[in-house]
Amino acid sequence: MVQSKVDFITGGVIAAVAAIMFIMTFSFEEFAGAGVGVGVEFMPRVIAVLMLITAVVIMINAYRNRDKQIKVIDGETGLEVEEEDPNSKNYKKLSISLGAMIIYAILTPFIGFLLSSILYLITQMFILSDNDKKKLIVIGTISIVMSVIVYFIFRNVFYVMLPQGIIG
Amino acid sequence: MIQSLLEGFGNVLSISTILLILGGTILGLIFGSIPGLTATMAVAICLPITYGMNPIAGMSLLMGLYIGGVSGGLIPAILLKLPGTPSSIATTFDGYPLAQKGEAGKAFSFAIIASFLGGLVSILLLIMVAPPLGQVALKFGPYEYFAIVIFSLTLIASLSGDSLPKGILSGLLGIGFAMVGSAPIDAFPRFTFGISAFDAGFDLMPVLIGLFAISEILLVAEKRGYQALKVNIKKINYKVPLKEYLEEKWNFVRSAAIGIGIGILPGIGGGTANLIAYAAAKNSAKKPEEYGKGTPGGVVASETSNNAAIGGALIPLMSLGIPGDTVTAMLLGGLVLHGLQPGPLLIQNNAPVVYGIFAALLIANVFMAILLFAGMRGFVRLLSIPQYILLPIIMTLCVVGAYGVNNRMFDVYALLFFGLIGYLMLKVRIPLTPLVLGFILGPLLETNLRRGLMLSQGDFMPFVTQPIAALFLLVTVVSVGWKIYKSFKAKQKMKESNEKVAYDN
């Protein structure tokens, strides 16, 4: 997708978020006749309006540049970003990773940090190693050893009471 | 004063206290170097351990943790492009490109020396000016703080790359996210969707780890064939000619001043200082286009300022009992735990402990530099660990780090949420750093605005008529105007060259 198109959609989404944010400020509770100065709703409204303006500016810029191949410069490094090759995308791996993380977070309170970490580590390492079955033994060993080390160091040395779940 | 300091050294120079400082520094370095674990967490976790110690021994351990925790962040920042702590975000901008060019050793040398000197200068300044400067800061009110925060926020402009609107948007998003939860001053819930877990708002830790670490894991997952760097450890050259160090002397002075100055301001610490020092170094560099591509100047700016912020943050803590950042807030708790009353009378009433703390800081600073130099080869080995093994382990450590802040799963869910936000922002090319700045500064902005308006009975005028506040706002307007003028000029130049190309064709 062309960067200007991405920008246009981004601006639109942010504008919508800003509008919702602005509307939400009207349901804030407050003391009747709260003190002097501005109330809890003042800053959120200012920020929402500024966000809306910025989003619209981004959309206008994107529209004006719609046909141009604009140079994209990375905000943090100042480097020019190469146009990505769509063939190098791997959304399947991405969504499995994201899914694994979410399941990890959901499972942790139930089966405990230790078990869920072992399961997550094996899954995530396997995905990132391009499903290399030859590495499964190494991955499994590292996963179990690391989970046990992290769990016991943090529970017993640093007293971070990681969830125990069913093994507690 | 010299005599008090010597007495302070006398109190600290026992085998057990020295070992505590050494242990604290090592543990701090480990916490600092693991993304997601920070100096704040190290201090928080070790605070209970110091209960049984005498105040000097306990505070010495905490000082070691503080120095080590802030400094350790440079290791993964350079090797893995993951800031180990918020204080090292800007170190990744140039440290990582340097490491990729095979000059990790050089990046380390610069970073360690900058850290050591930045820390040393700021600690010496702390020892000298803590009492008198405290007197001045006493007079700062909400108008002045509001103006200072506004000024800090406009630095977003220099961190937003090609698109100023996107940088501003990122900063606004940060302020917006910081608004979730109880409002400052009167604590009414905002944007909580009626869910009580949101009442306390997002903690800085999961926001940071999510944005900078989780998003990275997701990006790696998306790119096929992203493998570990093959770096030949033997080939890395740690030696840097003295001349190259000396080239960065003004950069060092500026960054140290920025670090100390920002450290002093309550609520802002090394996490902000390194970004601002980096932006300042880039703006005044002879070759700003080299920044971000792996120039030692960027590493020097970031690492000098974050260690300089240590001494800076301790100045208001020691002289006024006001914490300058999250770690000093923990240290404040440490002082109270040991029965020391923080405030303007602390130095007067507890001189031995205070000067003991100063001595411990100086010793920890030396330990930090020695440990980092001695352990560098070991740290470089981190590069040879394949990413498919390292990243998932980092994920579990991030979960521990997020969970450990408040011992609640909410922070882990927040971690994932911000990981996704960070990933999406990277995909649509909105810079992440302004969001962090906005997230940290937003609440300060609002608190001081509302406090100021309460003080002035709803009148906005004092914000622009109070001299110190007015000065900061003026500097803000000038710097923003300059940035807009410069980007306008650059755009015109680009347009002209485009037209010329069109004409030539």
End-to-end CA distance of chain B: 74
**Beta carbons of A80 and A103 less than 8 angstroms apart:** no
Q: Which residues of B touch A48 (CB under 8 A)?
A: 176
- To the nearest whole angstrom, how far is the Cα of B105 from the nearest Cα of chain A? 20
- Mean pLDDT over A102-118 rounds to 90
- Range in A124-133, B72-81, B148-157, B354-363 the model is least confident about: B148-157
**Exposed / middle / buried, residue B149 (Cβ in 10 Å: 0-12, 13-18, 19+):** buried
Q: Which residues of B touch A93 (CB under 8 A)?
A: 221-222, 224
**Beta carbons of B32 and B39 less than 8 angstroms apart:** yes
Whether residue A58 and residue B391 make contact (CB cut-off 8 A), yes or no, is no
pLDDT digits (tens, 9 = 90+) for B249-267: 888 999 999 999 888 775 5
Q: Is B311 on the interface with A (CB under 8 A)?
A: no
Chain A interface test: which of B51, B65, B182, B188 (most A C-beta within 10 Å): B188
Q: How confident is the model at residue A74 (pLDDT cuts 50, 70, 90)?
A: very low
Taking 90 as the threshold, does the pLDDT of residue B304 lie above it?
yes
- Range in A17-31, B243-257, B407-421 the model is least confident about: A17-31
Q: Please, which residues bridge with residue B182 across strands?
A: B189
**Beta carbons of B68 and B363 less than 8 angstroms apart:** no
- Mean pLDDT over B369-397 rounds to 76
Which pLDDT value is given to residue A35?
Answer: 61
Q: Tell me the count of A-B CB pairs closer than 8 A.
A: 214
Q: How confident is the model at residue A76 (pLDDT cuts 50, 70, 90)?
A: very low
Residue pointed to by tokens 């080390």? A149
pLDDT, averaged across chain A: 79
Residue B127 half-sphere exposure, CB side, CA atoms within 13 Å?
A: 22
pLDDT digits (tens, 9 = 90+) for B462-496: 878 888 788 878 888 887 787 777 777 776 776 66
Which pLDDT value is given to residue B225?
Answer: 47
**Closest Cβ–Cβ partner in A61, A71, A105 for B416:** A105
Structure-block tokens of residue B393: 């382990």
Closest to A120 measured CA to CA, from B407, B393, B222: B393
Q: How far apart are CA B141 and CA A20, in angstroms?
A: 34
pLDDT digits (tens, 9 = 90+) for B343-377: 667 777 787 888 889 999 999 999 999 998 887 76
Q: Which residues of A touch B50 (CB under 8 A)?
A: none
**Which phi and psi (to 5°) does residue B281 adopt?**
-65, -40
Whether residue A37 and residue B225 make contact (CB cut-off 8 A), yes or no, is no
Q: How far apart are CA B262 and CA B122, in angstroms?
A: 12
pTM to 2 decimals? Answer: 0.70
Residue with more model confidence, B75 or B138: B75
**Closest Cβ–Cβ partner in B169, B186, B431 for A55:** B169
Among all residues of chain A, which has the CA nearest to that of B191? A24
A56-65, B225-234, B263-272, B447-456, range with greatest mean pLDDT: A56-65
**Closest Cβ–Cβ partner in A40, A71, A124 for B190:** A40
Taking 60 as the threshold, does the pLDDT of residue B112 lie above it?
yes
Closest to A144 measured CA to CA, from A166, A126, A122: A122
Whether residue A124 and residue B400 make contact (CB cut-off 8 A), yes or no, is no
**Closest Cβ–Cβ partner in A36, A73, A96 for B162:** A73
Q: How confident is the model at residue B229 (pLDDT cuts 50, 70, 90)?
A: very low
Taking 90 as the threshold, does the pLDDT of residue B245 lie above it?
no
Q: Would you tell me the crossing angle of helices B296-320 and B326-337 to the nearest 10 degrees?
A: 30
Query: Which residue spans within B14-109 are E strands per DSSP?
Result: none
Q: What 3-state class would DSSP assign to B181?
A: strand
A10-14, B117-121, B170-174, B285-289, range with greatest mean pLDDT: B117-121
Chain A interface test: which of B50, B389, B417 (most A C-beta within 10 Å): B389
